[in-house]
Amino acid sequence: MWKKLKQKMFGGAKADEAVEPPPPQQEVAFEPPRPDLSKQEPAWIEAADNPFGVRVLDVRPVTLGTLSYTSDQKMAENAVSYGGEDGRSFAADRPASSRVVGASLRFRAPDGVHDGALFIPREMEDKWAMFVQDATLILVRGWRREVFVRARITRDGDDVLIGPLEGCITSEEEGDEYTRRAVDFIVRTYGLSLPCAAPLLPGADRTGRELALECMSVFGCHAHYASWDEPAREVPTRPLRVMTRLHVAVIRGDVEGARRALAEGFPAGLRDPFGRGAVHYVGASRAMLECLREAGADVDDGGDDGTTALMFAAQGRRLEMVEALLAIGAKADAVDRRGFSALHRAAEMGEVGIARALLARGADPDRAAEGGNTPRSLAAKRGESAVLGLFPPAG
């Protein structure tokens, strides 16, 4: 069976100064140190020594220590061809396999799941693209740009249920349990950046390295651990969100595109997979800022970590946007979850113009954040004398 599956799996076959936020932190920390992956071999970790509750294979020496390549130029182009896509080009496509697997995968989505991108491949080690269109999850094999799986998304209170599943991940010979676990794994790791043990295809006649290569081929660099057994898992607390065409239009500085998306019903304050609203991605366009504000966007929305658009603009050294946000009433002294304000950021980076604009709107140079850091102390540590000269005397 493994030889047949292997043959089918491996064979033949303009941004407006946007700053991409970092991915969210993992909910479960389990990364035993591996200082040099090239000198390691995949190794089994017993259930008592990992948080998954089952025996798992550490496949990172292969999945994080191997670069993907192909001699097929078209496949190489396909692998990194998804920038700005929201899934509409795949909405009518069906999987090659009409096989249907019963499933009811549950995820949190208090705001619902709108049309857009759940995950966009950025490198060849990202094996899947994920989209939502018309309440349907669409899994696209990255290198091939082919739909492999479609699944209905049903609202259930603050959650959504994904299933049944149409199609397959590797071939029609994979078991139903493998398909369910594989789709669940892809949504958790690609869509939510959560740790999860990847499923292994049946057959114990492969070495650890062969199993790890299988994981690399199917799941790419997102597979860190793998198991034949079903791992213990709960409904993730992190909500399932997409990058909508409203977010994409704002990132591109496309005001008319943003207006169309708003007219189509995309909420102005809807957050993306990074926990940001569209207002966080406004570059230097006051027209875009006004467009979103008129549609109800909160310019002081802190996203998931308390970082407002003003802090984002200050950190991106965008004086014009800082001034535009302040002009429409953005709070100059708002702080994120760690207590840092836009002035903390400007002071540490020596941004005199931004610091001056914030001070003129009442930002406090002595507001203490995490670790007792103030804008004044950060400027002093960095030797930013020009910024310090803007501050009134301490005390």
User: In the 3-class helix/strand/coil scheme, how is 238-283 assigned residue by residue?
Assistant: CCCCCECHHHHHHHHCCHHHHHHHHHCCCCCCCCCCCCCCHHHHCC
Separation of alpha carbons 38 and 100, rounded Å:
40
User: Which 8-state DSSP code applies to residue 102?
Assistant: -
In the chain, ranges of CATH 1.25.40.20 domains? 245-388
Measure Cα distances from 339 to 93, 113, 303, 333, 366 in Å. 47, 31, 14, 10, 12
Separation of alpha carbons 267 and 244, rounded Å:
10
Spatial CA neighbour of 246 closest among 230, 264, 225: 264
Structure tokens at 357: 């604009």
Pick the CATH number of 245-388 from 1.25.40.20, 1.10.150.570, 1.20.140.10, 3.30.70.270: 1.25.40.20
pTM: 0.82
Sequence-distant (≥ 6) Cβ neighbours of residue 49 within 8 angstroms:
none
pLDDT digits (tens), the chain, 395 positions: 333 333 332 233 333 333 343 333 333 444 544 446 666 899 999 999 999 999 999 999 999 987 655 555 555 455 456 777 889 999 999 999 999 999 999 999 999 999 999 999 988 889 999 999 999 999 999 888 999 999 999 999 999 999 999 999 999 999 999 999 999 999 999 999 999 999 999 887 899 999 999 999 999 999 999 999 999 889 999 999 999 999 999 999 999 999 999 999 999 999 999 999 999 999 878 899 999 999 999 999 999 999 999 999 999 999 999 999 999 999 999 999 999 999 999 999 999 999 999 999 999 999 999 999 999 999 999 999 999 999 999 86
Q: By 3-state DSSP, what share of the chain in percent is helix, strand and coil, each rounded to 5?
A: 35, 15, 50
Residue 80's pLDDT is 52
- Kindly report each contact of residues 50-56 with a partner whose C-beta sits within 8 Å and lies 24 or more positions away, as own/partner: 50/225, 51/195, 52/196, 52/197, 52/225, 52/227, 52/231, 52/232, 53/231, 53/232, 54/197, 54/227, 54/229, 54/230, 54/231, 54/232, 55/227, 55/229, 56/197, 56/225, 56/226, 56/227, 56/231
Separation of alpha carbons 328 and 100, rounded Å:
52
